[in-house]
Structures are given as structure tokens and as C-alpha cells.
Structure 1
Amino acid sequence: MAYYTQSIKALGLVAALMLPAVALAAGEPAMVKGDVLVDHKGMTLYTYDKDDDSKSMCNDKCAENWPPLKAESTATPSGEWTVITRDDGASQWAYDGDPLYTFVGDKKAGDKTGDGKGGVWKIAKP
């Protein structure tokens, strides 16, 4: 009986520790940090001036350097957050109609090295 009780307590602890992760996954796809949008790892998000009408124009090599903020197939748009379909069929998050990307040159949370790259990449702002 003592083993059974300990097992139940352990399962309860595991469930309690998982709740914040589940809540985060069910919430918005990114967060506001200061005056910029960041993903859930704290990486700066960017918009691309060449994107048009909620359509990503960053594909192939561009998408290798500027990874899209991917959305799960079950993602639910909410408010300013929408989901677009990329040319390769993958889903991507957009904010206020602008598809969102990270930048491979940003190595740690808070880096903003992609801002202004090529004159077409800008930090995403709420």
C-alpha cells in the first residue's frame, strides 16, 4: 500500500510540473519582451519587407538563414495571431498579417543581430 501511495504522489508531482509547459504551448506563439516579440526561447522575432498579404516570400536558402516561426497543424489563430501556409505546405505564425522569423545569427536570447539586415529585415513589434 505504501508503494502505491508513493507512486500516486510521484505521478501527481510529474503532472504538476508539466502544467506550465502545457499552458505555454496552448497560449500565444510568442511573447512581448520590452517592445519586441520573442519566441518562447526568448529569441528575437523578425519580419521581412518582401512578404506580401500574409504570404511568406522567404523560402529555400532564405528560410535556412531566417527560420520561420512554425505553427502546429492544430494551431488556432487568435486576435492579431494568424497562421499562414508556406509554399512548402508548412504552417507559420504571423502577427498582424506579418509572417514571423528568427535569425540564425542570433546565438542567445535577446540577440538582435538581424535587425536591418539587407535593409529588409526588421524586429517584430507588437
Structure 2
Amino acid sequence: MKLLRVSTAVLALLFSTTALAADSAPLKVANGMLVDHAGMTVYTYDKDTPNSGKSACVATCAKNWPPVLAKGSPPAPYSVVTREDGSKQLAHDGKPLYTFVKDKKAGDKAGDGVGGAWHIVPGK
């Protein structure tokens, strides 16, 4: 019975540590740019106004440029934008973040420079 209590406590600690780590680092840096946990490149859109709390990329735009969804309360320099549909989108330095449907595998960056308005987010 003691072993079961200790194992339960250890598991609870491991899961809580994993959850905290996930909240503290919503994105990671790979090859000098921000990527999501699947390694997909993250972009900003010039038509988004920094710190406006909303995204200019909706409807068809959002189908091609899926928003990076926010989970919980991210640490600075990240914040959360509420989209028209009520979903929560991750923002970096006040600008909403997106991936690109034409990026097929981790590290692809086909979206960089599209329309002169989409840009890779440099990793720091």
C-alpha cells in the first residue's frame, strides 16, 4: 500500500511538471526560427496590427494559414488573441501566429515572403 501511494505521488509530480513545461514554452526555436511542437514553421502577417487583440486572417485566409492555438496563459513574449469564432490564438510580441498549409514537413518554410506579407518569426 505504501508503494502504491509513493508511485501515485511520483506520477502526479511528473504529470504536473510536464504540464508546466508545456505552458512555459508554447513554441521552440529550430534553425533560427520559431516552430510549433511538431517542428512546423511559425509566421506573422503584416495585416495584423500588433497588440490589437485580434487577427486579420479569417475565413479562407485562416484555412491556408491555420492559427497557432493557445493553451493556457503563455509567458512573455507570448500573449493570447481571441479570434472571431472565440478560439484562442497564440501571439508573439503582440502579433498573432500562424502555420502554412503548404509547409508539409518540419522545417519547411514555403510561406516566408508570400504576398510580401507573411514572415517567419525569428527565434531568439
Name the TM-score, length of structure 2 as normaliser: 0.80
Residue 35 (structure 1) aligns with: 32
Q: Which of 111, 115, 118 is 1:118 aligned to?
A: 115
Cα-Cα RMSD: 2.3
- 1:9-30, Cα deviation, whole Å (9 max, x unpaired): x979977986785354232210
**Matched residues, number:** 121
TM superposition shift of 1:53: 2.9
Whether the aligned pair in 1 keeps the contact of 2:24 and 2:75 (CA below 8 Å) is no
Unaligned runs of 5+ in 1: none
**Looking at CA atoms only, which structure, 1 or 2, has the larger radius of gyration?**
1
Structure 1 runs of 4+ off > 2 angstroms? 10-27
Whether the aligned pair in 2 keeps the contact of 1:80 and 1:96 (CA below 8 Å) is yes
Residue 62 (structure 1) aligns with: 61
Name the TM-score, length of structure 1 as normaliser: 0.79
Residues 41 and 23 (structure 1 numbering): CA distance in 2 closer, same or farther, change over 3 Å?
A: farther
Instruction: Give, as a single letter, the amino acid of the residue that structure 1 aligns with 2:56.
Output: M
Residues in 1 aligned to 2:91 and 2:103: alpha-carbon distance in whole angstroms: 20
SS in 2 for 1:32: strand
Whether the aligned pair in 2 keeps the contact of 1:28 and 1:81 (CA below 8 Å) is no
Identity of aligned residues (%): 49
Instruction: Give, as a single letter, the amino acid of the residue that structure 1 aligns with 2:68.
Output: L
Unaligned runs of 5+ in 2: none
